[in-house]
Structure 1
Amino acid sequence: MPPPCPPVNGGERGGDVDFQGKITVSATQALRFVLANDAVTVAIPGMTKVSEVCENVKVGETFQQMSDKEKRQLIEAAEELGKDFCRSCGYCLPCPNGIKIPVILRHLGYYMRYGLKDWAKGRYSMVEIKASECEECGKCEEKCPYELPIIEKLKQAHELLAA
Protein backbone atom coordinates (compact mmCIF):
# COMPACT_ATOMS: atom_id res chain seq x y z
CA MET A 1 0.00 0.00 0.00
CA PRO A 2 1.52 3.39 -0.95
CA PRO A 3 2.14 5.97 1.78
CA PRO A 4 -0.55 8.63 2.19
CA CYS A 5 0.01 11.73 0.09
CA PRO A 6 0.20 15.14 1.71
CA PRO A 7 -2.52 17.61 0.79
CA VAL A 8 -1.74 19.37 -2.49
CA ASN A 9 -2.33 22.82 -1.09
CA GLY A 10 -3.98 21.79 2.12
CA GLY A 11 -6.40 23.56 4.30
CA GLU A 12 -7.32 26.80 2.67
CA ARG A 13 -8.97 27.79 -0.57
CA GLY A 14 -6.83 30.48 -2.07
CA GLY A 15 -8.03 33.59 -3.79
CA ASP A 16 -6.31 35.14 -6.75
CA VAL A 17 -2.54 35.07 -6.29
CA ASP A 18 -0.52 37.77 -8.04
CA PHE A 19 3.11 36.78 -8.64
CA GLN A 20 4.57 40.31 -8.49
CA GLY A 21 2.70 41.42 -11.59
CA LYS A 22 3.91 38.51 -13.76
CA ILE A 23 0.81 36.32 -13.60
CA THR A 24 -2.33 36.10 -11.51
CA VAL A 25 -3.56 32.61 -10.66
CA SER A 26 -7.14 32.09 -9.48
CA ALA A 27 -8.49 29.23 -7.40
CA THR A 28 -10.65 28.31 -10.40
CA GLN A 29 -7.58 28.03 -12.65
CA ALA A 30 -5.80 25.92 -10.05
CA LEU A 31 -8.77 23.53 -9.82
CA ARG A 32 -8.98 23.29 -13.63
CA PHE A 33 -5.26 22.46 -13.69
CA VAL A 34 -5.74 19.65 -11.17
CA LEU A 35 -8.79 18.25 -12.97
CA ALA A 36 -6.89 18.25 -16.29
CA ASN A 37 -4.40 15.75 -14.88
CA ASP A 38 -5.36 12.22 -15.96
CA ALA A 39 -3.71 10.79 -12.84
CA VAL A 40 -6.17 12.66 -10.59
CA THR A 41 -9.41 10.81 -9.86
CA VAL A 42 -10.68 13.02 -7.04
CA ALA A 43 -10.04 16.68 -6.24
CA ILE A 44 -11.02 17.99 -2.83
CA PRO A 45 -10.60 21.77 -2.89
CA GLY A 46 -10.74 23.59 0.43
CA MET A 47 -13.84 25.71 0.87
CA THR A 48 -15.16 27.94 3.62
CA LYS A 49 -18.12 29.67 1.95
CA VAL A 50 -21.17 28.49 0.02
CA SER A 51 -20.09 30.72 -2.88
CA GLU A 52 -16.82 28.75 -3.10
CA VAL A 53 -18.75 25.47 -3.24
CA CYS A 54 -20.82 26.91 -6.10
CA GLU A 55 -17.69 28.08 -7.95
CA ASN A 56 -16.07 24.66 -7.63
CA VAL A 57 -19.23 22.84 -8.75
CA LYS A 58 -19.42 25.12 -11.78
CA VAL A 59 -15.80 24.29 -12.68
CA GLY A 60 -16.65 20.58 -12.55
CA GLU A 61 -19.89 20.91 -14.50
CA THR A 62 -18.45 23.11 -17.25
CA PHE A 63 -14.93 21.65 -17.31
CA GLN A 64 -12.81 22.55 -20.31
CA GLN A 65 -9.24 21.43 -20.88
CA MET A 66 -6.64 24.13 -20.38
CA SER A 67 -4.75 25.44 -23.36
CA ASP A 68 -1.03 24.69 -23.55
CA LYS A 69 -0.39 28.39 -22.86
CA GLU A 70 -2.52 28.32 -19.69
CA LYS A 71 -0.76 25.17 -18.47
CA ARG A 72 2.66 26.68 -19.16
CA GLN A 73 1.76 29.85 -17.24
CA LEU A 74 0.61 27.88 -14.20
CA ILE A 75 3.67 25.64 -14.26
CA GLU A 76 5.92 28.71 -14.43
CA ALA A 77 4.03 30.30 -11.53
CA ALA A 78 4.41 27.10 -9.47
CA GLU A 79 8.14 26.94 -10.23
CA GLU A 80 8.54 30.56 -9.18
CA LEU A 81 6.68 29.90 -5.95
CA GLY A 82 8.87 26.88 -5.24
CA LYS A 83 8.23 24.20 -2.66
CA ASP A 84 9.57 25.93 0.42
CA PHE A 85 6.41 27.71 1.58
CA CYS A 86 3.66 27.13 4.10
CA ARG A 87 0.37 25.97 2.61
CA SER A 88 -1.63 26.80 5.77
CA CYS A 89 -2.78 23.21 6.23
CA GLY A 90 -2.46 23.59 10.01
CA TYR A 91 -0.93 20.15 10.57
CA CYS A 92 1.87 21.83 12.55
CA LEU A 93 -0.62 22.95 15.20
CA PRO A 94 -1.13 23.21 18.05
CA CYS A 95 2.11 24.84 19.06
CA PRO A 96 2.82 24.29 22.78
CA ASN A 97 3.49 28.03 23.08
CA GLY A 98 0.36 29.04 21.19
CA ILE A 99 2.18 30.40 18.13
CA LYS A 100 -0.14 30.57 15.12
CA ILE A 101 2.49 29.22 12.75
CA PRO A 102 0.49 29.34 9.47
CA VAL A 103 -0.53 32.95 10.13
CA ILE A 104 3.04 34.09 10.75
CA LEU A 105 4.41 32.16 7.77
CA ARG A 106 1.68 33.63 5.56
CA HIS A 107 2.84 37.13 6.57
CA LEU A 108 6.42 36.08 5.81
CA GLY A 109 5.27 34.90 2.37
CA TYR A 110 3.61 38.23 1.63
CA TYR A 111 6.82 39.97 2.67
CA MET A 112 9.19 37.73 0.69
CA ARG A 113 7.27 36.67 -2.43
CA TYR A 114 4.94 39.55 -3.07
CA GLY A 115 7.01 42.47 -1.79
CA LEU A 116 4.24 43.64 0.57
CA LYS A 117 6.72 44.49 3.30
CA ASP A 118 4.84 47.24 5.14
CA TRP A 119 1.57 45.34 4.94
CA ALA A 120 3.17 42.15 6.29
CA LYS A 121 4.88 44.05 9.12
CA GLY A 122 1.60 45.71 10.04
CA ARG A 123 -0.20 42.37 10.16
CA TYR A 124 2.60 40.77 12.17
CA SER A 125 2.40 43.59 14.71
CA MET A 126 -1.18 42.46 15.41
CA VAL A 127 -0.17 38.84 16.05
CA GLU A 128 -0.64 38.19 19.75
CA ILE A 129 2.11 35.57 20.23
CA LYS A 130 5.19 36.41 18.19
CA ALA A 131 7.51 33.97 16.45
CA SER A 132 10.19 34.88 18.99
CA GLU A 133 8.25 32.81 21.55
CA CYS A 134 9.33 29.63 19.72
CA GLU A 135 11.34 27.38 22.06
CA GLU A 136 12.52 25.16 19.18
CA CYS A 137 10.86 22.00 20.52
CA GLY A 138 10.45 20.77 16.93
CA LYS A 139 6.94 19.33 17.36
CA CYS A 140 5.68 21.44 14.45
CA GLU A 141 8.41 20.21 12.11
CA GLU A 142 7.67 16.58 13.00
CA LYS A 143 4.05 17.06 11.90
CA CYS A 144 4.60 19.16 8.76
CA PRO A 145 3.75 17.03 5.67
CA TYR A 146 5.99 19.30 3.56
CA GLU A 147 9.02 18.95 5.85
CA LEU A 148 9.41 22.72 6.09
CA PRO A 149 12.15 24.14 8.32
CA ILE A 150 9.50 25.84 10.46
CA ILE A 151 11.82 26.85 13.30
CA GLU A 152 14.19 28.55 10.86
CA LYS A 153 11.28 30.25 9.08
CA LEU A 154 9.85 31.54 12.37
CA LYS A 155 13.22 33.08 13.22
CA GLN A 156 13.39 34.68 9.77
CA ALA A 157 9.82 35.94 10.10
CA HIS A 158 10.50 37.64 13.41
CA GLU A 159 13.74 39.21 12.17
CA LEU A 160 12.07 40.67 9.08
CA LEU A 161 8.60 41.45 10.35
CA ALA A 162 9.39 42.84 13.79
CA ALA A 163 11.96 45.29 12.39
Structure 2
Amino acid sequence: MHYRTLGRTGFSVSEVGLGGEYLEGKSAEQVCAVVHAAMEGGVNILDCFMSEPNVRTNLGRALQGRRDKMYIQGHFRSVWENGQYGRTMDVQLVQQHFEDLLRRMQTDYIDIGMIHMIDNPAEYEALFQGPVMEYVQRLRQSGVIRAIGVSCHNPVTALRAVQTGLVDVLLFSINPAYDVLHEDAERPRTVDKTLFDHMERLNGINRVREALYRCCEERGVGITVMKSLAAGALLHAETSPFGQAMTVQQCMHYALTRPGVASVLVGMETVEQVADCLRYETMSEEELDYSFLFSQAPKFSMDGRCMYCNHCLPCPQHINIAQVQKYLDMALLDGVSPTLQGHYDSLEQKAGDCIACGICETQCPFSVSIVERMQKAAALFER
Protein backbone atom coordinates (compact mmCIF):
# COMPACT_ATOMS: atom_id res chain seq x y z
CA MET A 1 0.00 0.00 0.00
CA HIS A 2 1.16 3.50 -0.84
CA TYR A 3 0.41 6.37 1.53
CA ARG A 4 -0.03 10.09 0.97
CA THR A 5 0.00 13.07 3.31
CA LEU A 6 -3.51 14.42 3.79
CA GLY A 7 -2.79 18.10 3.30
CA ARG A 8 -1.83 20.13 6.33
CA THR A 9 -3.24 17.53 8.75
CA GLY A 10 0.01 15.60 8.37
CA PHE A 11 -1.95 12.33 8.44
CA SER A 12 -0.34 9.63 6.30
CA VAL A 13 -3.38 7.97 4.72
CA SER A 14 -3.67 5.01 2.37
CA GLU A 15 -4.40 5.75 -1.28
CA VAL A 16 -7.18 3.17 -1.09
CA GLY A 17 -9.71 4.12 1.59
CA LEU A 18 -12.85 2.42 2.85
CA GLY A 19 -16.23 4.07 2.31
CA GLY A 20 -18.62 2.61 4.86
CA GLU A 21 -21.94 3.39 3.15
CA TYR A 22 -22.67 -0.10 1.83
CA LEU A 23 -21.96 -1.72 5.20
CA GLU A 24 -25.26 -0.36 6.48
CA GLY A 25 -27.73 -3.21 6.85
CA LYS A 26 -24.99 -5.85 6.94
CA SER A 27 -24.33 -8.21 9.85
CA ALA A 28 -21.69 -7.50 12.45
CA GLU A 29 -19.72 -10.46 11.12
CA GLN A 30 -19.70 -9.12 7.58
CA VAL A 31 -18.74 -5.62 8.69
CA CYS A 32 -15.87 -7.01 10.74
CA ALA A 33 -14.70 -9.19 7.86
CA VAL A 34 -14.66 -6.27 5.41
CA VAL A 35 -12.93 -3.85 7.80
CA HIS A 36 -10.33 -6.41 8.82
CA ALA A 37 -9.59 -7.43 5.23
CA ALA A 38 -9.12 -3.76 4.30
CA MET A 39 -6.80 -3.11 7.25
CA GLU A 40 -4.76 -6.24 6.55
CA GLY A 41 -4.30 -4.86 3.02
CA GLY A 42 -2.94 -1.58 4.41
CA VAL A 43 -6.10 0.56 4.37
CA ASN A 44 -6.00 3.06 7.24
CA ILE A 45 -8.81 5.54 6.53
CA LEU A 46 -12.54 4.95 6.94
CA ASP A 47 -15.47 7.25 6.15
CA CYS A 48 -18.62 6.96 8.24
CA PHE A 49 -21.34 9.41 7.26
CA MET A 50 -24.07 6.93 8.14
CA SER A 51 -26.28 7.84 11.09
CA GLU A 52 -28.00 4.44 11.27
CA PRO A 53 -27.19 3.09 14.76
CA ASN A 54 -26.37 -0.54 13.92
CA VAL A 55 -23.72 0.19 11.31
CA ARG A 56 -21.99 2.58 13.70
CA THR A 57 -22.02 -0.09 16.42
CA ASN A 58 -20.71 -2.74 14.04
CA LEU A 59 -17.88 -0.51 12.86
CA GLY A 60 -16.95 0.15 16.48
CA ARG A 61 -16.78 -3.60 17.09
CA ALA A 62 -14.65 -4.09 13.98
CA LEU A 63 -12.15 -1.51 15.25
CA GLN A 64 -11.84 -2.90 18.77
CA GLY A 65 -8.14 -3.20 19.56
CA ARG A 66 -7.31 -1.55 16.22
CA ARG A 67 -8.57 2.01 16.72
CA ASP A 68 -5.09 3.55 16.56
CA LYS A 69 -4.52 1.90 13.17
CA MET A 70 -7.44 3.64 11.44
CA TYR A 71 -8.13 7.29 10.66
CA ILE A 72 -11.87 7.78 11.11
CA GLN A 73 -13.61 10.42 9.00
CA GLY A 74 -16.81 10.86 11.02
CA HIS A 75 -19.62 13.20 10.06
CA PHE A 76 -21.44 16.01 11.82
CA ARG A 77 -24.96 16.94 10.70
CA SER A 78 -25.97 13.39 9.74
CA VAL A 79 -28.88 12.32 11.97
CA TRP A 80 -31.20 9.34 12.49
CA GLU A 81 -34.82 10.28 13.16
CA ASN A 82 -38.00 8.25 12.79
CA GLY A 83 -36.00 5.34 11.46
CA GLN A 84 -34.45 7.36 8.63
CA TYR A 85 -31.26 9.19 7.72
CA GLY A 86 -31.52 12.95 7.63
CA ARG A 87 -29.48 16.16 7.92
CA THR A 88 -29.77 19.06 10.31
CA MET A 89 -28.26 22.40 11.28
CA ASP A 90 -29.79 22.21 14.76
CA VAL A 91 -26.64 22.31 16.88
CA GLN A 92 -28.22 20.31 19.72
CA LEU A 93 -29.11 17.49 17.33
CA VAL A 94 -25.67 17.73 15.72
CA GLN A 95 -24.06 17.33 19.14
CA GLN A 96 -26.39 14.49 20.16
CA HIS A 97 -25.65 12.44 17.04
CA PHE A 98 -21.92 13.14 17.11
CA GLU A 99 -21.74 11.94 20.70
CA ASP A 100 -23.68 8.86 19.58
CA LEU A 101 -21.00 8.27 16.93
CA LEU A 102 -18.26 8.42 19.56
CA ARG A 103 -20.08 5.96 21.83
CA ARG A 104 -20.90 3.46 19.12
CA MET A 105 -17.44 3.65 17.55
CA GLN A 106 -15.98 3.08 21.06
CA THR A 107 -13.61 6.03 20.81
CA ASP A 108 -13.06 9.35 22.53
CA TYR A 109 -11.83 11.15 19.42
CA ILE A 110 -12.47 11.37 15.68
CA ASP A 111 -9.54 12.09 13.39
CA ILE A 112 -11.45 14.07 10.75
CA GLY A 113 -14.62 15.78 11.90
CA MET A 114 -16.43 16.01 8.57
CA ILE A 115 -19.30 18.48 8.27
CA HIS A 116 -21.76 16.60 6.13
CA MET A 117 -23.04 17.75 2.75
CA ILE A 118 -22.71 21.52 2.42
CA ASP A 119 -23.93 21.89 -1.15
CA ASN A 120 -25.68 25.23 -1.62
CA PRO A 121 -25.44 28.87 -0.54
CA ALA A 122 -28.07 28.49 2.17
CA GLU A 123 -26.23 25.56 3.78
CA TYR A 124 -22.93 27.40 3.43
CA GLU A 125 -24.24 30.52 5.17
CA ALA A 126 -25.95 28.48 7.89
CA LEU A 127 -22.70 26.64 8.60
CA PHE A 128 -20.15 29.43 8.54
CA GLN A 129 -22.36 32.01 10.24
CA GLY A 130 -24.04 29.70 12.71
CA PRO A 131 -23.43 27.66 15.87
CA VAL A 132 -22.50 24.36 14.19
CA MET A 133 -19.09 25.61 13.05
CA GLU A 134 -18.51 27.13 16.49
CA TYR A 135 -19.27 23.74 18.07
CA VAL A 136 -16.95 21.94 15.64
CA GLN A 137 -14.14 24.42 16.32
CA ARG A 138 -14.51 23.90 20.08
CA LEU A 139 -14.14 20.16 19.56
CA ARG A 140 -11.02 20.78 17.50
CA GLN A 141 -9.53 22.96 20.24
CA SER A 142 -10.25 20.33 22.89
CA GLY A 143 -8.82 17.49 20.81
CA VAL A 144 -12.07 15.56 20.36
CA ILE A 145 -11.51 15.97 16.63
CA ARG A 146 -8.07 16.43 15.12
CA ALA A 147 -9.04 18.09 11.83
CA ILE A 148 -12.08 19.83 10.32
CA GLY A 149 -13.53 18.68 7.04
CA VAL A 150 -16.44 19.56 4.77
CA SER A 151 -18.18 17.20 2.35
CA CYS A 152 -19.64 18.66 -0.81
CA HIS A 153 -20.86 17.79 -4.29
CA ASN A 154 -20.91 21.37 -5.61
CA PRO A 155 -17.53 22.80 -6.72
CA VAL A 156 -18.60 26.42 -6.26
CA THR A 157 -19.65 25.87 -2.66
CA ALA A 158 -16.62 23.66 -2.00
CA LEU A 159 -14.26 26.36 -3.27
CA ARG A 160 -15.88 28.95 -1.01
CA ALA A 161 -15.49 26.61 1.97
CA VAL A 162 -11.82 25.94 1.22
CA GLN A 163 -11.10 29.64 0.84
CA THR A 164 -12.34 30.37 4.38
CA GLY A 165 -9.14 28.82 5.75
CA LEU A 166 -11.18 26.88 8.33
CA VAL A 167 -11.23 23.59 6.42
CA ASP A 168 -8.41 21.05 6.61
CA VAL A 169 -9.99 18.28 4.53
CA LEU A 170 -12.48 18.26 1.65
CA LEU A 171 -14.57 15.18 0.86
CA PHE A 172 -15.52 15.69 -2.78
CA SER A 173 -17.09 13.69 -5.59
CA ILE A 174 -14.51 13.12 -8.36
CA ASN A 175 -14.70 11.05 -11.52
CA PRO A 176 -14.05 11.83 -15.21
CA ALA A 177 -17.70 12.34 -16.05
CA TYR A 178 -18.09 15.04 -13.40
CA ASP A 179 -14.89 16.81 -14.41
CA VAL A 180 -15.69 17.42 -18.07
CA LEU A 181 -17.83 20.25 -19.30
CA HIS A 182 -20.97 19.68 -21.35
CA GLU A 183 -20.52 20.50 -25.05
CA ASP A 184 -22.78 23.53 -24.82
CA ALA A 185 -21.05 24.87 -21.72
CA GLU A 186 -18.69 27.80 -21.98
CA ARG A 187 -15.27 26.58 -23.05
CA PRO A 188 -12.37 27.61 -20.79
CA ARG A 189 -9.84 29.92 -22.42
CA THR A 190 -6.97 27.70 -21.33
CA VAL A 191 -6.70 24.08 -20.25
CA ASP A 192 -3.84 22.98 -18.02
CA LYS A 193 -2.56 19.92 -19.89
CA THR A 194 -0.49 18.78 -16.92
CA LEU A 195 -3.64 18.69 -14.80
CA PHE A 196 -5.91 16.84 -17.24
CA ASP A 197 -3.40 15.47 -19.72
CA HIS A 198 -5.80 13.10 -21.48
CA MET A 199 -8.70 15.51 -21.93
CA GLU A 200 -7.47 17.88 -24.60
CA ARG A 201 -9.71 16.20 -27.18
CA LEU A 202 -12.80 16.90 -25.13
CA ASN A 203 -14.64 20.17 -24.87
CA GLY A 204 -12.62 21.24 -21.85
CA ILE A 205 -12.44 21.01 -18.11
CA ASN A 206 -14.91 22.48 -15.70
CA ARG A 207 -13.02 25.60 -14.67
CA VAL A 208 -14.40 25.70 -11.15
CA ARG A 209 -13.43 22.10 -10.46
CA GLU A 210 -9.93 22.74 -11.80
CA ALA A 211 -9.65 25.83 -9.61
CA LEU A 212 -10.92 23.85 -6.63
CA TYR A 213 -8.29 21.12 -6.96
CA ARG A 214 -5.53 23.67 -7.40
CA CYS A 215 -6.74 25.74 -4.45
CA CYS A 216 -6.78 22.68 -2.20
CA GLU A 217 -3.26 21.76 -3.26
CA GLU A 218 -1.95 25.28 -2.72
CA ARG A 219 -3.63 25.77 0.67
CA GLY A 220 -2.78 22.34 2.04
CA VAL A 221 -6.37 21.13 2.13
CA GLY A 222 -6.30 17.37 1.63
CA ILE A 223 -8.95 15.84 -0.62
CA THR A 224 -10.64 12.52 0.11
CA VAL A 225 -12.77 11.26 -2.76
CA MET A 226 -16.31 9.92 -2.94
CA LYS A 227 -18.35 8.84 -5.99
CA SER A 228 -15.22 7.74 -7.89
CA LEU A 229 -17.22 4.99 -9.64
CA ALA A 230 -20.33 7.15 -10.14
CA ALA A 231 -22.30 4.49 -8.26
CA GLY A 232 -21.03 1.88 -10.72
CA ALA A 233 -22.27 3.72 -13.81
CA LEU A 234 -18.73 4.07 -15.21
CA LEU A 235 -18.09 0.31 -14.97
CA HIS A 236 -20.51 -0.62 -17.75
CA ALA A 237 -20.63 0.65 -21.33
CA GLU A 238 -24.43 0.58 -21.22
CA THR A 239 -24.63 2.97 -18.28
CA SER A 240 -21.49 5.05 -18.75
CA PRO A 241 -22.05 8.47 -20.34
CA PHE A 242 -18.86 7.80 -22.34
CA GLY A 243 -20.27 4.61 -23.86
CA GLN A 244 -17.18 2.71 -22.70
CA ALA A 245 -16.53 0.76 -19.52
CA MET A 246 -13.78 1.57 -17.05
CA THR A 247 -12.41 -0.79 -14.43
CA VAL A 248 -12.69 -0.03 -10.74
CA GLN A 249 -8.96 0.55 -10.66
CA GLN A 250 -9.03 2.97 -13.62
CA CYS A 251 -11.70 5.02 -11.84
CA MET A 252 -9.56 5.07 -8.72
CA HIS A 253 -6.49 6.05 -10.71
CA TYR A 254 -8.31 8.93 -12.35
CA ALA A 255 -9.20 10.39 -8.95
CA LEU A 256 -5.74 9.77 -7.53
CA THR A 257 -4.13 11.74 -10.38
CA ARG A 258 -6.04 14.93 -9.50
CA PRO A 259 -4.11 17.62 -7.58
CA GLY A 260 -4.60 17.55 -3.82
CA VAL A 261 -6.12 14.07 -3.68
CA ALA A 262 -4.80 11.82 -0.91
CA SER A 263 -7.26 8.92 -0.76
CA VAL A 264 -10.13 7.43 -2.74
CA LEU A 265 -12.83 6.10 -0.43
CA VAL A 266 -14.51 3.26 -2.28
CA GLY A 267 -17.73 1.75 -0.95
CA MET A 268 -17.04 -1.92 -0.22
CA GLU A 269 -19.43 -4.47 1.25
CA THR A 270 -17.64 -7.79 0.66
CA VAL A 271 -14.17 -9.16 1.20
CA GLU A 272 -14.00 -9.82 -2.55
CA GLN A 273 -14.61 -6.14 -3.30
CA VAL A 274 -11.85 -5.22 -0.86
CA ALA A 275 -9.43 -7.54 -2.67
CA ASP A 276 -10.44 -6.05 -6.02
CA CYS A 277 -9.77 -2.51 -4.83
CA LEU A 278 -6.43 -3.51 -3.31
CA ARG A 279 -5.33 -4.79 -6.72
CA TYR A 280 -4.85 -1.11 -7.60
CA GLU A 281 -1.56 -1.11 -5.73
CA THR A 282 0.00 -3.81 -7.92
CA MET A 283 -1.35 -2.92 -11.37
CA SER A 284 0.81 -1.51 -14.17
CA GLU A 285 0.44 1.95 -15.67
CA GLU A 286 -0.89 0.31 -18.82
CA GLU A 287 -3.63 -1.44 -16.85
CA LEU A 288 -4.54 1.78 -15.06
CA ASP A 289 -4.51 3.98 -18.18
CA TYR A 290 -7.88 5.61 -18.79
CA SER A 291 -7.01 7.69 -21.86
CA PHE A 292 -9.11 5.43 -24.13
CA LEU A 293 -12.18 6.87 -22.46
CA PHE A 294 -11.76 10.24 -24.14
CA SER A 295 -10.99 9.10 -27.67
CA GLN A 296 -14.35 9.99 -29.22
CA ALA A 297 -15.35 13.08 -27.23
CA PRO A 298 -19.01 12.07 -26.88
CA LYS A 299 -21.81 14.27 -25.68
CA PHE A 300 -22.75 13.25 -22.18
CA SER A 301 -24.17 14.29 -18.87
CA MET A 302 -24.37 12.78 -15.41
CA ASP A 303 -27.22 15.08 -14.41
CA GLY A 304 -30.28 13.08 -13.51
CA ARG A 305 -28.44 9.83 -12.77
CA CYS A 306 -29.07 8.40 -9.32
CA MET A 307 -25.92 7.78 -7.26
CA TYR A 308 -27.83 5.67 -4.66
CA CYS A 309 -26.57 7.88 -1.81
CA ASN A 310 -29.97 8.49 -0.15
CA HIS A 311 -29.12 12.14 0.39
CA CYS A 312 -32.69 12.73 -0.81
CA LEU A 313 -34.05 11.39 2.50
CA PRO A 314 -35.99 11.65 4.75
CA CYS A 315 -39.10 10.53 2.87
CA PRO A 316 -42.49 11.12 4.53
CA GLN A 317 -43.57 7.69 3.25
CA HIS A 318 -40.37 6.04 4.59
CA ILE A 319 -39.40 4.74 1.14
CA ASN A 320 -35.78 3.63 0.76
CA ILE A 321 -35.42 5.77 -2.34
CA ALA A 322 -31.88 4.71 -3.26
CA GLN A 323 -32.81 1.02 -3.15
CA VAL A 324 -35.84 1.55 -5.39
CA GLN A 325 -33.72 3.56 -7.82
CA LYS A 326 -31.04 0.85 -7.91
CA TYR A 327 -33.60 -1.89 -8.61
CA LEU A 328 -35.14 0.29 -11.34
CA ASP A 329 -31.79 0.77 -13.07
CA MET A 330 -31.08 -2.96 -12.87
CA ALA A 331 -34.49 -3.70 -14.39
CA LEU A 332 -34.02 -1.18 -17.20
CA LEU A 333 -30.63 -2.72 -18.00
CA ASP A 334 -31.39 -6.46 -17.77
CA GLY A 335 -35.14 -6.80 -17.29
CA VAL A 336 -37.08 -7.88 -14.19
CA SER A 337 -35.71 -11.27 -13.19
CA PRO A 338 -37.49 -13.37 -10.54
CA THR A 339 -34.58 -12.66 -8.16
CA LEU A 340 -34.79 -8.91 -8.73
CA GLN A 341 -38.56 -8.99 -8.28
CA GLY A 342 -38.05 -10.85 -5.01
CA HIS A 343 -35.62 -8.20 -3.79
CA TYR A 344 -38.08 -5.47 -4.69
CA ASP A 345 -40.99 -7.30 -3.04
CA SER A 346 -38.99 -7.47 0.20
CA LEU A 347 -38.98 -3.68 0.51
CA GLU A 348 -41.31 -2.51 3.27
CA GLN A 349 -42.33 0.61 1.34
CA LYS A 350 -42.42 0.52 -2.43
CA ALA A 351 -42.47 2.98 -5.29
CA GLY A 352 -46.26 2.82 -5.39
CA ASP A 353 -46.32 4.38 -1.93
CA CYS A 354 -44.83 7.59 -3.34
CA ILE A 355 -47.20 10.56 -2.94
CA ALA A 356 -45.24 12.75 -5.40
CA CYS A 357 -44.62 15.41 -2.75
CA GLY A 358 -41.29 16.27 -4.38
CA ILE A 359 -39.39 16.84 -1.12
CA CYS A 360 -36.76 14.32 -2.21
CA GLU A 361 -36.08 16.20 -5.45
CA THR A 362 -35.31 19.41 -3.56
CA GLN A 363 -32.66 17.55 -1.55
CA CYS A 364 -31.04 15.51 -4.33
CA PRO A 365 -27.58 16.85 -5.28
CA PHE A 366 -27.73 15.15 -8.71
CA SER A 367 -30.98 16.59 -10.11
CA VAL A 368 -32.66 13.18 -10.35
CA SER A 369 -36.32 13.17 -11.44
CA ILE A 370 -37.21 10.94 -8.52
CA VAL A 371 -41.00 11.19 -8.71
CA GLU A 372 -41.01 10.26 -12.39
CA ARG A 373 -38.65 7.35 -11.72
CA MET A 374 -40.81 6.15 -8.84
CA GLN A 375 -43.71 5.96 -11.26
CA LYS A 376 -41.58 3.92 -13.66
CA ALA A 377 -40.54 1.57 -10.87
CA ALA A 378 -44.13 1.06 -9.75
CA ALA A 379 -45.16 0.28 -13.34
CA LEU A 380 -42.36 -2.28 -13.72
CA PHE A 381 -42.49 -4.04 -10.37
CA GLU A 382 -46.07 -3.63 -9.15
CA ARG A 383 -48.10 -4.75 -12.14
Same fold (TM over 0.5): yes
Cα offset, 1:10, TM superposition: 7.7
Cα offset, 1:146, TM superposition: 0.3
Give deviations 1:9-44, integer Å, cap 9, x for gaps.
389975994445x865442232123334x3562433
Match among 93, 97, 122 for residue 317 of structure 2: 97
CA RMSD of aligned residues (A): 3.7
Cα offset, 1:128, TM superposition: 1.9
- The equivalent residue for 2:261 is 41
Q: Percent identity among equivalent residues?
A: 21
Cα offset, 1:123, TM superposition: 2.6
- The equivalent residue for 1:126 is 346
Equivalent AA in structure 2 for residue 161 of structure 1: F
Q: TM-score, normalised by structure 1?
A: 0.70
Alignment pair present for 1:7 and 2:228: no
Equivalent AA in structure 2 for residue 138 of structure 1: G
Summarize the alignment of residues 82-161 of structure 1 with structure 2, pairs less than 5 Å apart: 82-112=302-332, 114-119=333-338, 120-161=340-381
- Unaligned 5+ residue runs, structure 1? none
Give deviations 1:63-121, integer Å, cap 9, x for gaps.
7350533x348x87x95x95432111110122121101011110110111x22322543
Equivalent AA in structure 1 for residue 280 of structure 2: V
C-alpha distance 52-110 of structure 1, shift in aligned 2 (>3 A): closer
C-alpha distance 142-135 of structure 1, shift in aligned 2 (>3 A): same
Summarize the alignment of residues 44-59 of structure 1 with structure 2, pairs less than 5 Å apart: 44-49=265-270, 52=273, 55-59=276-280
Query: Within 2, Cα distance between the matches of 1:141 and 1:31?
Result: 29
Q: TM-score, normalised by structure 2?
A: 0.34
Aligned residues: 156
Query: Within 1, Cα distance between the matches of 2:337 and 2:279?
Result: 37
Rg larger in structure = 2
